Amino acid sequence: MPYQDIIPANPNINDLLTQIRKYYRKEDIDMVRLAYDFAAKAHAGQTRKSGEPYIIHPVATAMILAHMRIDPNIIVAALLHDVPEDTSVTLGEIEKNFGPDIASIIKGITKLGKLKYRGVERYIENLRKMFVAMAEDIRVMIIKFADRVHNLATIDALPPKKRYRIALESLEIYAPIANRLGIGEFKSLLEDLSFPHIYPKEYEKTKSLRDTLISQREAYLHNVMEIIKNELKNSGIKVLNVHGREKALYSLYQKIIRKGGWEHTDKIHDVVAIRIIVEDLADCYAALGIIHKLWRPLKGGIKDYISQPKPNGYKSLHTTVFCIDGQIVEFQIRDKTMHNEAEYGIAAHWHYDERGARLPAKDIFWAKELANIQKNVLEKLSDLNELKIDFFKNRIFVFTPQGDVIDLPEDATPIDFAYNIHTDIGNHCNGAKVNDQLVSLDTPLKSGDVVEIFTDKNRKGPSPDWIKNVKTHLAKSHIKEKLKTEKNTWLKNILPKK
């Protein structure tokens, strides 16, 4: 959803209270009001670079999160998140007034400080802090995302160089982290708000294309939605919502590049997809059957992310069909839980329902584990580009023959897969099968592939050529280490003994 549809210009406490009254209990609303009064007093007299009162920023940050129907403690922490760092009020005073949980969240945000690019080494140290904070309490990152979204939305008050730096960091670091945590809402906002500051010409061209395609198909898609709503209703399927989903601008731009450039935009069929939200899992598949009964699917156009979710937990059924008059339309089908998790990812665990009750928290061990793994990777990194490839690139999920899921960066090879399983398997890797077909070791893997590795115990170690083919920092570091050991052994054997 575009930023301007979520947050009014210069939001105030009344805007925030109007939003949260829809789902908060009275005592929660009172706590939010108290937090606002506390923050407003602490920030009194402070202004932003634009000259606006500083309090607008924490209110906007809280409103972005309120739009996600998030836990009251996160809203309160968002209102107070800059108080200890930018005012004379201490963390102890916040704990005394608002309790240890809220103080703990704000401590995590304060610990991060203001991440600034000051050369690669310093920057990686800051990223390490971010991952440590994420491992300790994922809510810290959720507030940090909202904070960054508002900063991007009001970035025009900054000098051009600073605008570019903040936008680039948001596009290359923050948006991919949001993606890994499954928070589609933040990923799209961060990307689309950064896009015009990094690639202004491409932004205008993409926006113009999307606006044209949407206006051309508006009446057509409305007709398709009415037909499918009636068909689903007549089949006894409870439909919670049917709506058109516009593709985010940066996502559309990336797809244009992947499809071969601007002259191939006719290959893009999901500029507006039709999203169907149903009651439960069984209804998802029933709805898919009804769509296919009405219209013929494209070959290879069905993607079942329910039985095989994406690595970030995304679940949905996608199908692309030849619709009325042979026009191509994409449908996305999911139930309410899948929809909340697709939009809000890990943040859905702090989502409140219409009765003002928090939904049951699910196991978020994977997110903490992710943060711990990345913290350990960061400790060994000195090259930001390696970090971007390992963590920030699009991910694929492939399977061992036993059905275990291995999470790798896009275009990873069987060698990356082998080292991901075990160093010895990587070092002695001699061949690979993908989906029961023998392939070369430099073959790029795709999501859903089943990979089998063959090893040769007589193999001395990796080939030096492998360095050019692997994508993961893990594989590269093990190959370099093994080659270095072999070289040292060889030198030791040929040099005269003293």
Render pLDDT for 223-259 as a digit per residue (tens, 0 to 9).
Answer: 999 999 999 999 999 999 999 888 889 988 888 887 7
Active site residue 424: no
Whether 127 and 25 share a structural domain: yes
What is the DSSP secondary-structure string of 476-497? HHHHHHHHHHHHHHHHHHHSPP
pLDDT digits (tens, 9 = 90+) for 390-421: 555 567 778 888 777 677 888 899 999 999 88
Confirm whether 370 is domain-assigned. Answer: no
With respect to residue 379, please indicate whether it lies within any of the assigned structural domains.
no
- The reply to whether 321 falls in a domain is yes
Residues 187 and 252 reside in one and the same domain: no
Nearest residue to 16 via CA among 40, 33, 38, 4 = 33
In a domain, 355, yes or no: no
Q: Which two tokens stand for residue 115?
A: 């991440």
Contacts of 202 (CB under 8 A, 6+ apart): 195, 253
- 381 assigned to some structural domain: no
State in Å, rounded, how far the first CA of the chain is from the last one: 72
Residues 115 and 61 in one domain: yes
- In the listed set 350, 375, 407, which residue is the last one of a domain according to the structure? 350
Query: CATH number, domain at 205?
Result: 3.30.460.10
Higher pLDDT, 80 or 497: 80
Mean pLDDT of 33-39: 94
Pairwise pLDDT comparison (384 vs 65), residue with the higher score: 65
Nearest to 293 by CA among 332, 325, 259, 319: 319
What's the CA gap between 397 and 407, in Å, rounded?
A: 5
- Among the options 15, 86, 172, 410, which is catalytic? 86
79 is in which domain, residue-wise? 3-198
Q: Are residues 227 and 125 in the same domain?
A: no
Do 63 and 185 reside in the same domain of the chain?
yes
Task: Kindly report the pTM of this predicted structure.
Answer: 0.74
Q: Closest Cα to residue 245, out of 158, 185, 164?
A: 185
Judged by average pLDDT, the poorest of 33-47, 190-204, 436-450 is: 436-450
Q: How big is the chain, counted in residues? A: 498
Tokens 């029933």 appear where? 286
Do residue 336 and residue 192 come from a single domain? Answer: no
The predicted structure's pLDDT at residue 486: 60
Task: Quote the pLDDT of residue 75.
Answer: 93
249 within 8 A of 192, measured Cβ to Cβ: yes
Largest CA distance in the chain: 90
**Across 16-30, 114-128, 402-416, 451-465, least confident range:** 114-128
Handedness of CA 33, 37, 43, 45 (dihedral sign): positive
Give yes or no for residue 379 having a pLDDT over 60: no
Asked whether the predicted pLDDT for residue 338 surpasses 80, the reply is yes
DSSP code, position 373? H
Query: Does residue 358 contact residue 352 with C-beta atoms inside 8 Å?
Result: yes
Owner of token pair 């080939």: 463
Q: Indicate if 344 and 413 belong to the same structural domain.
A: no
Give me the CATH number covering residue 408. Answer: 3.10.20.30
d(CA 170, CA 153): 12
Position 275 confidence tier, pLDDT thresholds 50, 70, 90: very high
Same domain assignment for residues 179 and 223: no
Residues 189 and 225 in one domain: no
45 φψ region: left (φ > 0), alpha (ψ -120 to 50), beta (else)? left
CB–CB of 202/253 below 8 Å? yes
Q: What are the tokens at 420?
A: 């991901």
- Residue 357 belongs to a domain: no
Per mean pLDDT, which range of 132-136, 141-145, 188-192 is the poorest? 132-136
Cα separation values, 79 from 63, 106, 149, Å: 9, 10, 15
Question: Could you give the C-alpha distances from 348 to 115, 351, 355, in angstroms and in order?
Answer: 26, 5, 16
Q: Which of 309, 303, 220, 237 is nearest to 276 (CA)?
A: 237
Please give the Cα distance from 484 to 481 (Å, whole number).
5
- In the chain, how many domains are there? 3
86 classed as catalytic: yes
Examine the fold and report which residue of 350, 378, 402 is the final residue of a domain before the chain moves on. 350
pLDDT at 355: 46
Are both 185 and 212 inside the same structural domain? no
| Nearest-5° Cα angle at 282, 281 to 287 | 100
Residue 93: per-residue pLDDT: 92
Asked whether residue 139 falls in the same domain as residue 267, the answer is: no
Q: What is the mean pLDDT of the chain?
A: 82
Which among 52, 45, 46, 56 is positioned nearest to 8, based on CA atoms?
56
Instruction: With respect to residue 364, please indicate whether it lies within any of the assigned structural domains.
Output: no
In this prediction, what percent of the chain has a pLDDT beyond 70?
80
Catalytic residue among 30, 37, 85, 101: 85
CATH number at residue 21: 1.10.3210.10
Q: Which of 297, 316, 350 is where one domain is finished?
A: 350
* Residues 228 and 192 reside in one and the same domain: no
